[in-house]
Amino acid sequence: MTCEDVRRDLDSYLDRELEAEAARAVYDHLSICAVCRRQVAEREALGRLIQAMPQYSAPDRLRARASAQSIRSRSMRRALRWAAAAAVVISVGGAVGVLRSTATRADAIADEVVSGHVRSLMVDHLFDVQSTDQHTVKPWFLGKLDFAPPVVDLAPIGFPLVGGRLDYLGGRPVAALVYQRRQHTINVFVASEDDTLRPAEARAVRGFHVHHWVRDGLSFFAVSDLNDTELGDFARRLQSS
C-alpha cells in the first residue's frame, strides 16, 4: 500500500468502515511511514475537536448544493459535518483555541489510547510477538524503541501476559503489552515519559476504562473493557511488580 492509497482510505479507516483486510493494510503502512502517521494524528485531533463542539446545522445553501451534486448519503453527512465544524472553528478564531477551551489534552490522549486498543482488536493485530514468556517478549523490542519496556507476567494473579507489539501514540512509537483476563483483552501502552502524554489517573472513554501512571521515566496506559475494579487491581499489581 502506498501513501496515496492511505490518503484515499484515511477517512474510512478512522471511521472503521474498511474491511478487515484493507484496515490491516493501512495499519501496516502506518507502522513504517511517519508522514502518514502524522496525518492520522492530525485527523484524529480534528475529529476530537468536532466531537467536543456544540452541534450546528449546515446552511441551507450548502445542503442544496450537496443534493444537486448527487453525493451519496454517507459522504454527504460527512461533508456537512466537517463543513459545519469548520465554520464554527473559523468563527471563534481558529481550531487550536477552540480545542484548548473545549477539550483538554488529557481527554485527547485517553481517547487516542482507546482508539489504539479498539484498532488492534478490529484489524486482528494484537501481536507482533505472541508469547506468555516475558523473556521472549521483552527482547523483541530491542532496537525498535529508544527505551526498554518492563515486561512482567501476572499469570499467578489471573492476568497472564500473552504477547506484545509495536504501536503508536501521538505519532510516535510505543510498546504495547497484551494481557488477558478471562475473555477480556488488556492493552498496556508504554511510552517514554512526556507531559504531552499524561491524562488523569483513571477515566472511562466510550465504554472502556483507562488507567495511567508514571514510573522510572516511562508512561503506562492500561486500557480494557474489563470492569474498572479489576483493571484498577491489575494496574496496581503491575506498578508494584
What residues does each domain of the chain span? 1-47, 122-240
Q: Which helix (H) or strand (E) holds 172?
A: strand 172-181
* 46 CB neighbour count, 10 Å cutoff: 16
Tell me the pLDDT tens digit for each residue of 107-131. 778 888 999 899 888 867 788 999 9
Return the minimum-mean-pLDDT range out of 65-74, 88-97, 201-210: 88-97
Tell me the pLDDT tens digit for each residue of 188-214. 999 988 755 565 567 788 889 999 999
Confidence at 241, pLDDT banded by 50, 70, 90: confident
- The dihedral built from the CA positions of residue 23, 25, 30 and 31, taken in this order, carries a sign that is positive
Which grid cell is 8? 484515499
CA 99 to chain CA centroid, Å, is: 18
Residue 53 in this model has a pLDDT that exceeds 70: no
Residue 27 in this model has a pLDDT that exceeds 60: yes
Mean pLDDT of 31-50: 73
Residue 95 in this model has a pLDDT that exceeds 50: no
DSSP 8-state assignment for residue 159: B
Q: Identify the CATH assignment for 122-240 out of 3.40.190.10, 1.10.150.120, 3.30.200.100, 3.40.470.10.
A: 3.30.200.100
Q: What 3-state class would DSSP assign to 204?
A: strand
In Å, how far are 57, 68, 85 from 71, measured between CA atoms? 18, 8, 19
Q: Which carries the bigger pLDDT value, residue 152 or residue 17?
A: 152
Mean pLDDT of 58-83: 61
Residues 6+ apart with CB under 8 A from 232: 202, 211
Cα–Cα distance for residue pair 97/102, rounded to 1 Å: 9
Q: Are 78 and 137 in contact (CB under 8 A)?
A: no
Q: What 3-state class would DSSP assign to 81?
A: helix
Cα–Cα distance for residue pair 128/238, rounded to 1 Å: 22
Report the share of the chain in percent with pLDDT over 70.
71
Strand order in the sheet with 202-205: 129-130, 161-169, 172-181, 184-192, 218-224, 208-215, 202-205
Which grid cell is 239? 506498578
Cα–Cα distance for residue pair 6/28, rounded to 1 Å: 11
Mean pLDDT of 3-17: 82
Residue 233 in this model has a pLDDT that exceeds 90: yes
Mean pLDDT of 17-41: 80
Number of H helices, E strands in the chain: 9, 7
